[in-house]
């Protein structure tokens, strides 16, 4: 196939797709263990500036392992958060590696505040957990470390599809955002670190576009826990600034403290029941809902630790919000955090040689159970989960790459993927990506369709998805950045479709997942994971029994 914008071919022992915290951790960890391996990071924006680790609160989850045993936290998590849908062994490994991960981050250049006695400056957040701040230049420091170790980096290249050969990973294809050139990558192992699907609603999380999820799905990888892609957070109505722990002080228009309607004791973080209560109050004409707390200023948590790089960001963000927020009226905003790529304990997907780390596979790994991706009702688990997964995949990915011969790439497969990649540029007329995304947002945005669900409302949402799906073949782009938007819009449609189809299948309420028409947890019939997989042109949903018999904490049946 003749390519209008040219072609460039690359090969590597390990190809890492995504230059955020997860991808950088995987690349650095592999290079530490096997410096002779050729490790290549490909990032659609700029490695070190991409992802979400450098755009949020910058907090890490901390466990005092001298006081807390991993098995004790697992028991707490299973009963309070994961609700018996989580992989207890993987969660125990995550907790046991907590202090090791802190030490590695410091070694890789991250600035983590300490007290005068040398201990980390932690703040307790629950009966077993604490948080500590990390400065927002963490990924820039890690990029510098990766480059010093010999990791190669290619920026401004968007990966659109994965290459397979005889059911195994062979590499990936993409295009340059600068000149449109077609890129092929041949690799012995591929690490997918492209982030979650956030549906472009919350500005702080909008970098999660789900394109890696879509690429893995099209390549034949299984998805797990796709229905847990519906995280929402209370935000100020006018500025959309997040109000962490605001659910503790919710009042209706009659000045009634409505938090007590859904919360009877301490909780680790926001629960979907807070969203349900907001919906019930508003539906009963008891809104608006306001918070009676001291309004945070100066960036909230930012003032608690010495983090100079991020301080200006938090200060500017807070000042901008203060200009428009004249009160503390709040509403829920969908953040999404869908992360369904299924992995084993080495973070390998169901495609041999393909690994998935961080927010692309948080729920797919099954570690957190019945809760969306970070914060997953555990503040600070987002960055550390990505670090954890990056470390966990490194040994297996390196061994796979060492043993693998680069697989031949089928020219017919390449031609088909190139034609699909550039299709929006070839259309003189069509629809724009933003119009497709708006239909997706009409489906996922309303809380009564995505968080406090029932069959009727989810079917309404799927009608919007069907409209968006019908528009995907008509997507049209005038330049390479619009071409990127087109592929991201297609990924949003796919993610939303699997979210609602999986949610319709799960006929119970469990953990974060709430169905108005099935309000009880059903351990008899639904101690199951929902698996989503592409079969031909169809999306197939099946179930897999949760193997709770082999774990220490068992449910009541």
pLDDT digits (tens, 9 = 90+) for 375-384: 889 889 999 9
pLDDT in tens, 6-38: 999 999 999 999 999 999 999 999 999 999 999
For residue 297, the model assigns a pLDDT of 46
Which homologous superfamily is 16-229+336-403 in? Answer: FAD/NAD(P)-binding domain (3.50.50.60)
Average pLDDT over residues 97-115: 95
Q: Please report which confidence band the pLDDT of residue 1 belongs to, taking 50, 70 and 90 as the band edges.
A: low
What is the model's pLDDT at position 298? 44
Which tops the pLDDT comparison, 319 or 237? 237
The pLDDT of residue 4 is: 92
In this predicted model, what pLDDT tens digit does every residue of 156-189 receive, in sequence order? 999 999 999 999 999 999 999 999 999 999 999 9
The model's confidence at residue 112, banded by pLDDT at 50, 70 and 90, is: very high
Residues in the chain: 557
Cα(75)–Cα(26) distance, rounded to whole angstroms?
Answer: 29
Q: In this structure, are strands 528-535 and 223-224 parallel, antiparallel, or unpaired?
A: antiparallel
| Stronger pLDDT, 166 or 90, i.e. the higher one | 90
Q: CA dihedral in degrees (413, 419, 422, 423; nearest 10)?
A: -140
User: Could you tell me how far CA 252 lies from the centroid of its own chain?
Assistant: 32
Mean pLDDT of the chain: 94
Fold of 422-549: Methane Monooxygenase Hydroxylase; Chain G, domain 1 (1.20.58)
Model pLDDT, residue 326 = 77
More confidently predicted of 196 and 322: 196
Q: Report d(CA 317, CA 58) in Å as an integer.
A: 14
Q: Where are the domains of the chain?
A: 16-229+336-403, 233-335, 422-549
What whole-number distance in Å separates Cα of residue 335 and Cα of residue 556? 32
Give the predicted TM-score (pTM) of the model. 0.96
Task: State the pLDDT at residue 302.
Answer: 53
pLDDT in tens, 289-311: 999 986 544 445 555 788 888 88
User: What's the DSSP call for residue 211?
Assistant: H
Does residue 317 register a pLDDT over 90? no
pLDDT at residue 3, rounded to an integer: 86
Tokens of 537: 């042109």
CA distance 382 to 351: 25
């Amino acid at each position: 196939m003749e390519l209008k914008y040219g072609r460039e071919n690359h090969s590597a022992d390990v190809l890492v797709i995504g230059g955020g915290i997860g991808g950088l951790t995987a690349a650095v960890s592999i290079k530490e263990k096997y410096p002779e391996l050729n490790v290549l990071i490909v990032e659609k924006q700029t490695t070190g500036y991409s992802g979400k680790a450098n755009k949020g609160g910058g907090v890490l989850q901390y466990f005092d392992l001298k006081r807390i045993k991993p098995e004790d936290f697992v028991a707490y998590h299973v009963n309070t958060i994961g609700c018996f849908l989580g992989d207890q062994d993987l969660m125990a490994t995550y907790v046991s590696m907590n202090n090791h991960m802190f030490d590695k981050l410091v070694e890789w250049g991250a600035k983590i505040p300490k007290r005068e006695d040398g201990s980390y400056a932690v703040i307790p957040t629950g009966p077993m957990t604490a948080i500590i701040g990390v400065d927002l230049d963490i990924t820039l420091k890690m990029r510098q470390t990766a480059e010093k170790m010999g990791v190669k980096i290619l920026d401004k290249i968007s990966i659109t599809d994965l290459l397979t050969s005889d059911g195994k990973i062979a590499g990936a294809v993409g295009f340059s955002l600068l000149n449109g050139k077609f890129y092929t990558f041949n690799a012995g192992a591929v690490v997918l670190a492209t982030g979650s699907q956030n549906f472009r609603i919350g500005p702080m999380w909008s970098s999660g576009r789900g394109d890696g999820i879509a690429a893995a799905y099209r390549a034949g990888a299984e998805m797990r826990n796709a229905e847990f892609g519906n995280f929402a957070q209370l935000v100020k109505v006018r500025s959309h600034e997040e109000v962490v722990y605001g659910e503790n002080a919710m009042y209706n228009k009659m000045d009634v403290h409505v938090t007590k309607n859904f919360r009877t004791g301490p909780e680790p973080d926001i629960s979907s029941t807070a969203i349900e209560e907001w919906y019930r109050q508003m539906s009963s004409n008891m809104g608006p809902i306001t918070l009676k707390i001291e309004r945070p200023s100066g960036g909230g948590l930012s003032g608690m630790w010495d983090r100079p790089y991020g301080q200006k960001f938090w200060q500017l963000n807070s000042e901008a919000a203060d200009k428009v927020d004249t009160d503390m009226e709040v509403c829920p905003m969908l953040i999404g955090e869908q992360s369904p790529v299924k992995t084993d304990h080495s973070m390998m997907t169901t495609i041999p040689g393909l690994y998935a780390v961080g927010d692309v596979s948080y729920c797919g790994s099954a570690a957190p159970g019945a809760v969306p991706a970070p914060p997953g009702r555990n503040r600070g688990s987002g960055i550390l989960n990505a670090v954890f997964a990056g470390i966990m995949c490194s040994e297996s990915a390196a061994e796979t790459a060492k043993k693998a011969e680069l697989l031949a790439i089928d020219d017919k497969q390449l031609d088909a993927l190139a034609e699909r990649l550039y299709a929006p540029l070839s259309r003189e007329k069509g629809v724009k990506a933003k119009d497709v995304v708006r239909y997706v947002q009409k489906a996922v945005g309303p809380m009564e369709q995505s968080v406090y669900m029932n069959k009727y409302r989810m079917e309404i949402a799927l009608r919007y998805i069907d409209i968006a799906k019908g528009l995907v073949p008509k997507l049209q782009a005038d330049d390479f950045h619009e071409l990127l938007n087109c592929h991201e819009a297609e990924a949003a449609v796919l993610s939303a479709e699997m979210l609602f189809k999986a949610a319709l299948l799960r006929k119970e309420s469990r953990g974060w997942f709430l169905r108005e028409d099935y309000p009880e947890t059903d351990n008899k019939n639904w101690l199951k994971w929902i698996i989503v997989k592409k079969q031909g042109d169809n999306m197939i949903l099946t179930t897999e029994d949760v193997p709770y018999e082999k774990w220490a904490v068992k449910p009541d049946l």
